[in-house]
Structure 1
Amino acid sequence: MTDTVLPLKGIIPPLVTPLLGRDEIDVDGTRRLVDHVIEGGVHGLFILGTSGEAPSLSHKTQQEFIQIACEQIQGRVPVLVGITDTSMTESIEFAKFSQSCGADAVVLATPYYFPMHQQDLKRYIEEMAAELPLPFLLYNMPSHTKVSYEIGTIESLMKLEKFIGVKDSSADMLYYNKLIELKSERENFTVLVGPEELMAQSVLMGGDGGISGGANLAPSLYVSLYEAAVTEDLREVHRLQHQVLRLSKSLYEVGAAPTGYLAGIKTALGFTGLCSDRLCEPLYEMPEERKQVIHQHMSDLGLFESMRTEGIASQGIKKKSNS
């Protein structure tokens, strides 16, 4: 990654992985989705993260998706590739493959099976960093991996030249504020937030942007919110934040499982015709009655109307009627 794209800033959607079947990529859907989000003004793409269902995909399918996505992106925006694995060897090889496809950086989740002391976690990252061909960010998501990158561990890793940032999905804003303090110690160091509901707040605190899942569907909305936060246009932040919260509640809270947000965003994308709504086992698509709830919510939000009148890459959310 060149200095011209450092530090990473803005809206970097965690691209969903369009599927037609088990270990079968929806190639046309992937191409449409990539173009859709880039034309919506996003500042980068994060592939094979949580929203990309990476832990459920075979290594073969993950590599196929990286190749297809990078070919379609064609260098238009920086590409981050998630690595969520318990094998250092596989992780390093995966990073090498990502580099060969044109990725700019990798994003390292903690190993997720064995409990780890922070000293061992620090050593693990140091040893891996020595062999990584790309810069890396750390991915803090303790709700999923059950292991957190503690602030002291991150601080001790700041000496590594290839370490360029953190994606924090903990939703702990005290923790996030400590990351912002660390950011001041390193030039071109990026701090990104995962939960999109916190993106504007995080930018106002001094953060660099968000890995916002809803930007798969409505990229321009999240880009506009980010830009309003950067310029500290608080009136516009309040207006657009309200829209993001409505989208989040309408799409992510319909599913019963904690992973309902994944089914929600894929169902919505399926209704737009961008890509298939299929999830990868062990996750399954919503029952038809819940899909229809999502469809109604999308209609209420004005998403279909916006896509028809403004083009599929430029959405706003219709104001809620007072009636």
Structure 2
Amino acid sequence: MPSSLPTQQSSRFQGTIPPIVTPLADDDRLDDAGCERLLEHLIEGGVDGIFLLGSSGEIVSLSQQLRADFVRKACRIINQRVPVFVGITDNSVVETKRFAQVASDAGADAVVLTTPFYYPIDQSELKTFVQSVLQGTDLPLLLYNMPAMTKLWFEAETVAELAQMDQIVGIKDSSQDLDYFRQLTSLKSVRPDWTFLIGHETLLAESLRVGGTGGVNLGTNLFPSLFSSLMQAHRANDDAAVQGLQTKIDSLAPIYKIANSSSPLLPLIGITKTALSIMGICNDRLAPPHHPCTPEQRQQLTAVIERLKTTLGA
């Protein structure tokens, strides 16, 4: 649905938008109390939005019914206090559009679409995939570049073409490639209303310096006020405060080092869930077949969390 360029001059969606974990009570049932505690923890921490069912939410390991239950429950709890973003990607265009409707009916503010996976596709087919999904929803749509998991990039030229569609309102990038991210932010010249979100929290301050508008960072699940304070400092053009807060964010690294580094991402999700359970927010169950942290990891993590609470004043 191509159309004329927008007239607004700033992005509608920006700031601290945590990719929240999905609290589970068992293999196919939500931890209802944990969901509510987690969402309240984040909103009280000053976040600017909530991203449900991203990579950190274990989207590909959850049943369609559980995903729908989570979106409906979260939207009820959030009750329009902050915008809600919902990951909708499925390899099937039909299922992706169907879940976009679920998100819309639940009251979500935007949907998030990464590239399909398993079968290799080219950039022309990728554009067709996005355009087909847009035909199934009226919600604003953010692209999500996650090549480590999907094995496919939204190439910069493809993003530039898709930026001609008003309904697409930005992109979240988890490539860890700042040169690529700079290419994306150059699109502000044609889409000043777009949002440009960085996935990796160690790059948050630098991404803002090169034109980014916010972060979708795993560590926000644990210490949301730390990330929201950095965004507030950025809005106030306080570069020294931004850098000081980035240093504090970097101090979360010992949490992630406890995780098994032999495979990407999932161990980080597991360690984050265990940290949340130590903090009394939700339990640490992962969707099957994945295993939670070991007792030894939990013991190490408990010591790290206590130390960080002191050093960060959290």
Shorter chain as denominator, the TM-score bin is: over 0.9
Deviates more, 1:233-242 or 1:32-41: 233-242
Match of 2:28 among 15, 23, 28: 23
Residue 113 of structure 1: aligned partner: 118
CA contact (8 A) 1:300 1:318 kept: no
Describe the SS at the equivalent of 1:51.
Answer: helix
Matches within 5 A, 1:26-41: 26-41=31-46
Residue 257 of structure 2: aligned partner: 253
How many matched pairs? 304
Residue 292 in structure 1 maps to residue 299 in structure 2: yes
Change (3 A) 1:45 1:317: same
CA contact (8 A) 1:85 1:111 kept: yes
Residue 310 of structure 1: aligned partner: none
CA contact (8 A) 2:205 2:243 kept: no
Shift in Å at residue 84 of structure 1? 2.5
What is the CA deviation profile of residues 3-51 of structure 1, one whole-angstrom value per residue up to 9, with x for unaligned ones? 8995211000001100111011000110111111011110000000011
Q: Give, as a single letter, the amino acid of the residue that structure 2 aligns with 1:266.
A: K
CA contact (8 A) 2:100 2:136 kept: no
Q: Give, as a single letter, the amino acid of the residue that structure 2 aligns with 1:231.
A: A
Shift in Å at residue 264 of structure 1? 1.4
Match of 1:184 among 163, 182, 189: 189
Residue 223 of structure 1: aligned partner: 228
Structure 2 CA distance for aligned equivalents of residues 17 and 5 of structure 1: 31
TM-score (norm. length: structure 1) = 0.91
Structure 2 CA distance for aligned equivalents of residues 244 and 169 of structure 1: 17
Q: Give, as a single letter, the amino acid of the residue that structure 2 aligns with 1:297.
A: V
Residue 241 of structure 1: aligned partner: 246
Residue 264 in structure 1 maps to residue 271 in structure 2: yes
What is the CA deviation profile of residues 156-202 of structure 1, one whole-angstrom value per residue up to 9, with x for unaligned ones? 11121211000000010000000110122113111111111111111
What is the CA deviation profile of residues 74-121 of structure 1, one whole-angstrom value per residue up to 9, with x for unaligned ones? 000000001221000000010001000000110001001111110111
Structure 1 CA distance for aligned equivalents of residues 158 and 272 of structure 2: 34
Structure 1 CA distance for aligned equivalents of residues 117 and 274 of structure 2: 28
Residue 317 in structure 1 maps to residue 309 in structure 2: no
Describe the SS at the equivalent of 1:84.
Answer: coil
Change (3 A) 1:5 1:205: closer
CA contact (8 A) 2:9 2:192 kept: no
Residue 275 in structure 1 maps to residue 286 in structure 2: no
Shift in Å at residue 122 of structure 1? 0.9
- Considering only aligned residues, what root-mean-square deviation do their CA atoms show, in Å? 1.7
Matches within 5 A, 1:51-200: 51-200=56-205
Structure 1 CA distance for aligned equivalents of residues 247 and 139 of structure 2: 37
Structure 2 unmatched ranges of 5 or more: 1-7
Which runs of at least 4 in structure 1 moved beyond 3 Å after TM superposition?
Answer: 3-6
Structure 2 CA distance for aligned equivalents of residues 5 and 284 of structure 1: 43
Shift in Å at residue 214 of structure 1? 0.9
TM-score (norm. length: structure 2) = 0.93
Shift in Å at residue 238 of structure 1? 2.4
Q: Give, as a single letter, the amino acid of the residue that structure 2 aligns with 1:79.
A: V
What is the CA deviation profile of residues 131-162 of structure 1, one whole-angstrom value per residue up to 9, with x for unaligned ones? 22211010000000001100111111112121
Structure 2 CA distance for aligned equivalents of residues 155 and 211 of structure 1: 21
Structure 2 CA distance for aligned equivalents of residues 179 and 4 of structure 1: 17
Describe the SS at the equivalent of 2:204.
Answer: helix
Residue 47 of structure 1: aligned partner: 52
Identity within the alignment, %: 41
Residue 206 of structure 2: aligned partner: 201
Q: Give, as a single letter, the amino acid of the residue that structure 2 aligns with 1:133.
A: D
Q: Give, as a single letter, the amino acid of the residue that structure 2 aligns with 1:207.
A: G
Q: Give, as a single letter, the amino acid of the residue that structure 1 aligns with 2:291.
A: Y
Structure 1 CA distance for aligned equivalents of residues 313 and 184 of structure 2: 35
Residue 313 of structure 1: aligned partner: none
Structure 2 CA distance for aligned equivalents of residues 38 and 114 of structure 1: 38
Shift in Å at residue 253 of structure 1? 1.6
